[in-house]
Structure 1
Amino acid sequence: MATIFSSGGIGWARKLSGVGPTIGGMTALLAEPLQTDPVQLVSDGLQRLRESVPGLSDTEVQERVRAVESLSRQAHSVMLDLVAEMQARNLAGHTGFGSTARLLADMLSLSKAEARTRVGHAEQVGTRRALTGEALPARLPETAAALAAGEIGPAHLRIINEAMAAISDTATPADREWAEAHLTGWAPRLDPAALGRLAARVLVWLDPDGPEPATEEAPAPSGALRLRDRRNGGVGFEGWLGSEHGPALRELIERLAAPRPASEGIPDPRGVEERQADALVEVCGLARGAEHTPSSAGEPPHLTITLDLNTLIDGIGAAACDYGSYLSAGEIRRWACEAKVIPVVLGGRSELLDVGRAMRTVPLGIRRALVVRDRGCAFPGCGRPPSQCTAHHVIHWIDGGETSLQNCVLLCEHHHRVVHHTGWGIRIHADHAEFVPPTVIDPQRTPLRNPLRC
C-alpha cells in the first residue's frame, strides 16, 4: 500500500507497507512519482549530492565545492527573476501588501533591508517585460549573464550595482557599457572587497575631476575632531580627515603602530587599537621634536603619488595615493609646493630606465623603483600601500636569486605568507607582476595581475 504526500503543490509517492504487483521481481508502487517539477528535481539532486559527500576523494570535494557555489549563485539569479516577475504582475498590490519588498519580507522571513536589496537587484538584473508582455533585456545585461552562469555572487552583484548607480550622468552609454563589462569581467577573479576598490577606480576613470563644485559653495572642511573629557582624567575623541590629510595621518600611525616584540620569541601583547593609540602618543611627541621623525629604509614618512607630469602641470585630472584613495591634481599641486618631488623616467613600454638620485643606498633605490612599478602590494586585488609592503624575492636569495627589479615584487605581510606557503607562482614583466594560482584555486592556473595597479 502506498500513501501520497504533497507539499507546496509538489507530489510524490512513498511506499509505507504492503506488497503490490511485481514486475521483474520489483515491487511497483501504486502511485508512481512523476518528477516534472524543476524545484523538486533540484532538491532531489542536492539530497543525492549530500549523501555522496563521505565517499568523495579530496579532488572531488574541491570540485563539488566549486560546483555547488556556482549552483547557489545560479539559484540566486532565478530568485531575482522571480522577484522581478512578482513586481511585473503587481502581486503585492493584489494581495494588499503595498510593495514587493514588504511581501517578500513576510513570505521569506527576511529583514526589510534584505528584501529591499533583492527587489532593487531584481530591477537591474531580472527579466523585464514591456507593456505588451514582451521580454526585455536586463538593465545590467553583462552582470545578469555572469550571475546566471554562476560566475559571480550576490556580494559582487551589490558592488557592481552600486558602482553603476554612482556613475555620473555625464557619462556616455559607451562609458557605462565599458564600466559594467570591466567590473563583470574582473569580478569572478576578485573577492568583493577587491572588486569594491576596483569599482572606486573605475568611477575616477570616468569622472577624474569629480562633481563640479557650486560657485558660491564654501570650501570643503579638511575634517572634524571632537574632544571630550573622560572620568578617569583621560581624553576621548572622534572625528575624520578628508582625502588630502587622512592618508598622511594613516602613514604616521601605521608606521609607528607596528608590533614590537618584548624580546625574541615573545610577540607584542598589545592589540591593534592599543598599538595605534600608543602610535598617536608618539606622533604627539614627535611633533614636539620633529628632528626625531622616524624613517623607513632611510627616509622619513612619506606618501607616494604617481601621476603624469602633464596632469601635475595642467592641474586637471586625478592621481592615486598609497591607500587607494584619489586626490585631484589641484590638491597635489598644493602638496608639491612643500614636497620633495622624485622624478622617475619611463621608457616607451613604461619600463623603468632611471630612478631619481635622492638616495643613499642601492636597496633604497631598488625599493623606490619597486614602489613606482608595483605601487603597493602586487597580489591580485590587494590595495595595501607600499608602506605596508616588503620586497619579496621571486627566486630566494639563498637559492641564487638576485636583489634586482627583475627578481623582486612588493607584497604585504599577509600575501607574503600566502605566496610562501600556498603554491602561488610569480612572473615579473617589464612593468608589472603576474601571479599564477595553485591548482587547488584554479586547475588551469591562469595568470592574474592586480587590476588596482593596472
Structure 2
Amino acid sequence: MIDALEQAEAAVAACFDTSVWAANERDLVAALDATHRLEQRLAAVKLSLVRELDGRGTATAQGASSTAVWLRDRLRLGVGAARRLVELAATLDAAPVGVRDALTGGAVDVEQVRVIAETVETVHATAGTEAADKAVGVLVDWATQFDATLLRKLGTRILDHVAPEVADAAAEAALRAQESRAARDRHITISEQTDGRLRLTGILDTEAAAALRNAIDPLTAPTGPDDTRTPGQRRHDALADVCRLALRTGELPENGGDLAQVVVTTNYDTLTRQVGTGALDIGPHLTPEAVRRLACDAGILPAVLGGAGQVLDVGRQRRLISGPLRRALVLRDRGCAFPGCDRPPRWCDGHHIRHWADGGDTSLDNAVLLCGHHHRHVHHGGWAVRLGGDGHPEFVPPAWLDPEQLPRRNHYHRRR
C-alpha cells in the first residue's frame, strides 16, 4: 500500500507540474472528472485507514484521549473536522457493500455516502432488508446525478420507490416526529452584551419560521443603488421594522407595547440647545444622535435638572406625532417620503424636519414620514429635508452625492 500511494503521489505531483494552459477544453474537462474520481477513491482509502486505526485503539495507545484528538494533532485538522472524519469512517464501515463500492469507484463522494447510509438505515428500520437493498441501488443511481443536499431531500420519499405499500404511513409518522422535534427544540435566546446590544440565537418551528420570513422578506430588499447595507444588516433592520409595527398597533399587553421610551437627563441650558446623551428605560445609554432620532417618534420623558440637581419636570410627552396629526401626515405623504422608497405608512416613523431638541414643533409643517432605514439615513447621511412650495417634502442630497444638490422627491406614492 505504501509503495502504491507513493507512486500515486508522484503521479499527482507530475500532473501539477503540467502546463494546463496548453490543453484543449475537452482534455481539461476529462482531467477534472478524473481528478474528482481519484479524490473520492483516496477519500475511501483514508476512511478505511482511520477506521482501522480507531478500531485498534492506536490513539489511546499513543496518549491521546480519542481518535479525533489524535487526528487533529497528526493531520493538523480542526477538532470538528477530525470528529467528522471518525464518524464518516464508522459510517462507511457499516454501509452496504454497494455504497462502499460506489465510493471506491469514484461514483459518489463522502457526503453522499453519509446521506445514503443514513437513508438506507431508515428504510431498513421501516420496511425491512429487501426494501433497504433496493434503496441502495436507487440512491447510488441518484447520487450520480444529484449532490448530497438534494439527495437527502429525494431520500425522504425513497419509500415511494422501494416500498410504496408503507410509504404513506411512514411519511405521516416522519412528519409527526418532525413536528414533535420542532416543538421540543423551539427556543429563542437573548444575550445582553456589555454595550446594550443583544445577541439573538435560537431555532424557530416551521410555522414561526414561515411567519418570520413572510414578515421580513419584503423588507430586506435593497432600497436603491446607494443602499450599502449587507444582507445581514438588511435582515436586522427588517426585524426592527416589524417590531415597530407591532408596537404601533397598540394591541400588545399593557406592561409593554410602547415605542422606545428614552429618558434624557440633562442640564436645562444644554436641553435648550441640543439633547445630550440619553438612557433607555432598560438601562443602556445612547449617543446624542441616537437620542435625537428616537425623539422623533418615541416617548421622551425629560428629566430636566436645575443647577442644584433637583428634578424640575419629569414625564411630559409633548412631541409624539400621533393621533390626528399622524393621520394628516399619512394623507399627505402616503408612505415613506424618501425618494424612491415604497414602504407604506404603517412601516414609517414621524420625523421632525427641525428636531424637537432644536426647538422644532410637532406640527404637519415640521413633520415627514420616513421608514426605519431612511429615518436612520436622514439622521446620519447628510441629507436635508424641507417642504416645497406645494407643502410636500423634498430631500436635498449631500454635496458628495450631487454637487448641484438638486432637491429630490418621492414620486412612487403619487402614482398609486
Q: Specify the structure having the higher radius of gyration (Cα).
A: 2
| TM-score bracket for the superposition, by shorter chain length | 0.3 to 0.5
Whichever structure has more helix as a proportion of its residues is 2
In the superposition, the TM-score normalised over structure 2's length comes to: 0.46
In the superposition, the TM-score normalised over structure 1's length comes to: 0.42
